[in-house]
Structure 1
Amino acid sequence: MKRIKSLNIMMVIFIFFIMVSSGLLTSVCFLFFYALDFFPFPFLTPILSPFIALLVSSIIGTSLSAMVSEKFLKPLHQLIDATKIIAKGDFSVRVPEINSDSEIAVLLRNFNQMAEELGSIEMFRNDFINNFSHEFKTPIVSIRGFAKQLQNENLSEEKRKEYTEIIISEAERLTKMSSNVLLLTKIENQQFITNQAEYDLDEQIRNCIILLEKQWSKKNLEMNLNLSNVKIFSDEELLSHLWINLIDNAVKYTDDNGRISITLYETGDNIVFRISDNGKGMDEYTIKHIFDKFYQADKSRSTHGNGLGLSIVKRIVELCRGEITVDSKLGAGTTFTVILPKCQKGGIHKN
């Protein structure tokens, strides 16, 4: 509202400038003619001189307006043209910016920022579709290939069992991927935490660890727990996805006979959850993209995941108005730290 008033004042000043300028120039012209004792129609002067002055002033004012407004409105014309290009789906267009704090300068900067954001969203959408198609196609091709192998009557019982297990594993992978996509779609369209209730968070985390016991026992991992008795007021089902994905990620990227440490404690009005492993760790590039959809740091292990788990984690933390940080170095393991308020009221917290 303040900027609108400021723009109105600018327009008033612009019009006032044109009026004063045209009046002054008209007066100067008449004074010049009278000083030279020259006037084109002296017999009309007593009666029509005000109208002649008005006509001359109008001509001068119109000419000045045309010249000044051309420069003043040029950025707006560029903005209109750029908007038409945006409407056709081309988000690469940018308008020249003005180095000032005026309303038009702010408008141009905001337009360029909007175009950049739209371009990023479009690129992300295309990447998502391509990655989604690839991740779904891979297990389907695998299932089809091994199913054809099972039709071979000369196939040994050992091979038949091996191929059947692969088909089951790929089918489970598809099921998990579908569930994760549906969950991510749901929480991305969600703005508030619902179904909130108070419950014991430490007990929930223990249950999540038990649910994943098969995975970490198979790798003979040492689980070190330091869980304080903590109560939280939140959506229990939603947070269970958060803990399961973080624990599953740590198990997945920790080598056999490795170690995972999980800590939970309170600090003021917040709750701190920290999970560390002594796995291979990540480089700076991986840390930067770890929460991107379908991003997988270890391509050689792509069959073990679908790159959606940490995207779900990030979104849930945002919904809970919390924070999540990653500390990792190659060869030194990884630590995820989640800070959540004890009571998640309101919408998404923007860091």
Structure 2
Amino acid sequence: GVDRDITKRKETEVEIINALAKEKQLGELKSRFITMKSHEFRTPLTTIYSSAELLEHYGTKWSEYKINNHLHRIQNMVQHMTRLLNDILLIGKVESGKIELKLTPIDLESFCTDLIYQIQLNDRNYHTIKFTYSLEKFENKLGSNHGRNNAASSFSSARPYMDEKLLRQILENLLSNALKYSPKGSTVEIKLTCSANQAIFKISDQGIGIPEEDQGLLFETFYRGTNVGTITGTGLGLAIVKKCLDIYQGQIDLESEVTVGTTFTVTLPIYYVLSN
């Protein structure tokens, strides 16, 4: 009999299979990107061109209101394209490791209130965003050098530290999606609960829901649910959320039922510095 060691050959075969699978995945990713890019850029560019052409030919005959209406359309489309490009650039920065966690002092309640206000300014479907904020007691959770009474008395002076840029990306994308996929005039809820070591955000909507077969793929770049229909989107929002959470070492959970609504629960580590 002849013994032959084929370990290296098998390892090479596995490497080739993995390389081919990765190449196929990249090919599919590029294909989805090209499809998304052509659609998402063509629509605003068509709107910009149409409004500019109408202003050129009829601007001198129109009322100031009608002129301003077309100017606003152009501005809105430019902002839309800018946001899309920023999302693509952010994905690239994250994947190349150019974004790091940077913790700074933050007033979480004010931060959330301001973010909600900004999002509602751009909401044209008259949604209501309901925000609730609660704090758990710090008792015996601030360190071994703090007794129960000392910890409780220091609670009001504890300053939370978080990465504001990453937090903004996470909440902004989740809230924007909640509004986008919810009926006109419906309510979206965001609940924030803070403890000594984590912040938990719950974003709930009364929207179209996410089919069970889509839920495991939602955080892939350019992936969109099979039931979105004609609702526009790029498939970048949840991918950005997941990548920001990976940097933050946070967690996201999903509960959803088609035609009933969706709840995303985001859990982030939070750090406190006690003021003297």
- TM superposition score category, shorter chain reference: 0.7 to 0.9
| Residue 171 (str. 1) matches residue 101 (str. 2) | no
Tell me by how many angstroms 1:111 deviates. Answer: 3.4
Structure 2 counterpart of 1:212, from 119, 125, 137: 119
Partner of 1:301: 231
Q: Aligned equivalents of 1:198 and 1:236: distance in 2?
A: 9
Q: Aligned equivalents of 1:162 and 1:198: distance in 2?
A: 41
Q: Aligned equivalents of 2:159 and 2:216: distance in 1?
A: 32
| Residue 329 (str. 1) matches residue 234 (str. 2) | no
Distance 1:108 1:284, change over 3 A: same
| Residue 228 (str. 1) matches residue 156 (str. 2) | no
SS of the equivalent of 1:271 reads strand
Maintained 8 Å contact 1:227/1:262: no
Q: Which runs of 4+ in 1 moved over 4 A?
A: 158-162, 229-232
Distance 1:203 1:224, change over 3 A: closer
| Cα deviations by residue, 1:17-39 (Å, 9 ceiling, x for unpaired) | xxxx9xxxxxxxxxxxxxxxxxx
Structure 2 counterpart of 1:109, from 14, 17, 26: 14
**TM-score, normalization by structure 1:** 0.60
SS of the equivalent of 1:255 reads coil
Amino acid at match of 2:118: L
Maintained 8 Å contact 1:225/1:262: yes
| Residue 262 (str. 1) matches residue 190 (str. 2) | yes
Tell me by how many angstroms 1:176 deviates. Answer: 1.6
Amino acid at match of 2:71: T
Distance 1:187 1:232, change over 3 A: farther
Q: Aligned equivalents of 2:240 and 2:66: distance in 1?
A: 37
Maintained 8 Å contact 2:133/2:191: yes
Partner of 1:278: 206
Amino acid at match of 1:166: R
| Cα deviations by residue, 1:19-65 (Å, 9 ceiling, x for unpaired) | xx9xxxxxxxxxxxxxxxxxxxxxxxxxxxxxxxxxxxxxxxxxxxx
Maintained 8 Å contact 1:199/1:233: yes
Tell me by how many angstroms 1:231 deviates. Answer: 5.8
Where relative contact order (Cα < 8 A, 6+ residues apart) is larger, the structure is 2
Q: Aligned equivalents of 2:197 and 2:10: distance in 1?
A: 42
Tell me by how many angstroms 1:170 deviates. Answer: 1.4
Partner of 1:287: 215
Q: Aligned equivalents of 2:52 and 2:99: distance in 1?
A: 44
Maintained 8 Å contact 1:224/1:259: no
Q: Name whichever structure is richer in strand by fraction.
A: 2
Q: Aligned equivalents of 1:323 and 1:222: distance in 2?
A: 23
| Cα deviations by residue, 1:69-112 (Å, 9 ceiling, x for unpaired) | 9xx48x7xxxxxxxxxxxxxxxxxxxxxxxxxx55434433432
Structure 2 counterpart of 1:342, from 253, 270, 275: 270
Amino acid at match of 1:340: L
| Residue 121 (str. 1) matches residue 26 (str. 2) | yes
SS of the equivalent of 1:195 reads coil
Higher Cα Rg, which structure: 1
Gaps of 5+ in 2: 137-157, 272-276
SS of the equivalent of 1:326 reads strand
Q: Aligned equivalents of 2:230 and 2:159: distance in 1?
A: 40
SS of the equivalent of 1:223 reads strand
Partner of 1:183: 90
Partner of 1:51: none
Maintained 8 Å contact 1:191/1:319: no
Amino acid at match of 1:308: L
| Cα deviations by residue, 1:290-344 (Å, 9 ceiling, x for unpaired) | 3333444434231xx443222211110111112212221111111111122235x
Distance 1:142 1:293, change over 3 A: farther
Q: Aligned equivalents of 2:110 and 2:48: distance in 1?
A: 39
Partner of 2:170: 242
Tell me by how many angstroms 1:219 deviates. Answer: 0.7
Tell me by how many angstroms 1:167 deviates. Answer: 2.2
| Residue 145 (str. 1) matches residue 50 (str. 2) | yes
Partner of 2:139: none
Aligned-pair identity (%): 26
Gaps of 5+ in 1: 1-20, 22-67, 76-101, 344-351
